[in-house]
Amino acid sequence: MNAATAKVETHQNEKMQRYYRRHAAIYDLSRWTFLFGRREVIRRLPFEWDEAISVLEIGCGTGYNLETTAKNFPNARLTGLDVSADMIDRAANRLIPFKDRVTLIQKPYQRGGGEWGDGFDVILFSYSLTMINPQWESLLLQAKADLKPGGILAAVDFHDSRFGWFKRHMGRNHVRMDGHLTPVMEQAFSAEVSEVKGAYLGVWDYFVFLGRKEG
Ligand SMILES: C[S@@+](CC[C@H](N)C(=O)[O-])C[C@H]1O[C@@H](n2cnc3c(N)ncnc32)[C@H](O)[C@@H]1O
């Protein structure tokens, strides 16, 4: 990674740490009202409930999805990565009942990799990719490298809105929603699910994506 790229990534990481220092305490109280599709993307993972799958969530936040995954897949081994210490602290609390099979790591997801051994069966991005700007595409491709052959990239996130005022509002909260994610995912992975759905009578759309790494 060259110095300019490293500087851009450091800036994004610091922005997230500052933002979630203020938002971590109200995250679970507020986000269930608009982060749609999170349970669905986990429910639709193409594995039997008792398989010993390995799952990495990038930007795991307060651990909502890791908890759901741990309950749905009682033999899964789970890793949660997040740049925000405030969010990871809350995840650690929530996941105490599953601590034997959950590992939480406080650090940004970065290019370079090679640190995950044989790779994961599933990598999940839930409402994190739209906040990883501008390096979302390179980290999506890093996730592909960190999956086992045949592994699944699962993602749920904001897609787009026809209302400029709403996109500007989301932009002030560090979210980019320009329909930019699904075309790149569909090119990089063999899509098994790629659906765009309306939220709040069409104020915005969100997407659910499950794609396989071929080979
Ligand atoms: C909107 S929250 C989503 C949390 C959780 N996935 C969920 O669905 O509730 C976005 C999370 O991504 C994390 N994040 C943002 N950029 C990151 C990066 N480069 N590496 C790791 N985590 C990151 C933030 O700290 C935050 O916890």
Distance 61 CA to ligand 1 centre (A): 5
pLDDT for 1 beyond 80: no
Provide the mean pLDDT of the chain: 95
Q: Report the distance separating Cα 133 and Cα 71, nearest Å.
A: 31
Q: Report the distance separating Cα 188 and Cα 141, nearest Å.
A: 8
Q: How confident is the model at residue 2 (pLDDT cuts 50, 70, 90)?
A: confident
Q: How confident is the model at residue 3 (pLDDT cuts 50, 70, 90)?
A: confident
Question: What's the confidence (pLDDT) of residue 113?
Answer: 67
Radius of gyration of the chain (CA): 16
* Whether residue 183 has a cis bond before it, omega within 30° of 0: no
Distance 77 CA to ligand 1 centre (A): 20
pLDDT for 215 beyond 90: no
Q: What is the pLDDT of residues 59-102, one digit of tens each?
A: 999 999 999 999 999 999 999 999 999 999 999 999 999 999 99
Ligand 1 environment, Cβ below 6 A: 13, 16, 20, 31, 35, 38, 58-61, 64-65, 81-84, 87, 108-109, 126-128, 131-132
Alpha-carbon torsion angle 40, 84, 139, 101, nearest 10 = -60
Atom of ligand 1 nearest to the CA of 24: 27
What residues does each domain of the chain span?
3-212
Q: Mean per-residue pLDDT for 135-147?
A: 96
Residues 87 and 64: beta-carbon distance below 8 Å: no
Q: What is the pLDDT of residues 145-201, one digit of tens each?
A: 999 999 999 999 999 999 999 999 999 999 999 999 999 999 999 999 999 999 999
Question: What's the confidence (pLDDT) of residue 6?
Answer: 87
Torsion angles phi and psi, residue 83, rounded to 5: -75, -20
Residues 130 and 104: beta-carbon distance below 8 Å: no
Residues 29 and 150: beta-carbon distance below 8 Å: no
Question: What's the confidence (pLDDT) of residue 75?
Answer: 98
Question: What does DSSP assign to residue 90?
Answer: H
Is 3-212 in CATH node 3.40.50.150? yes
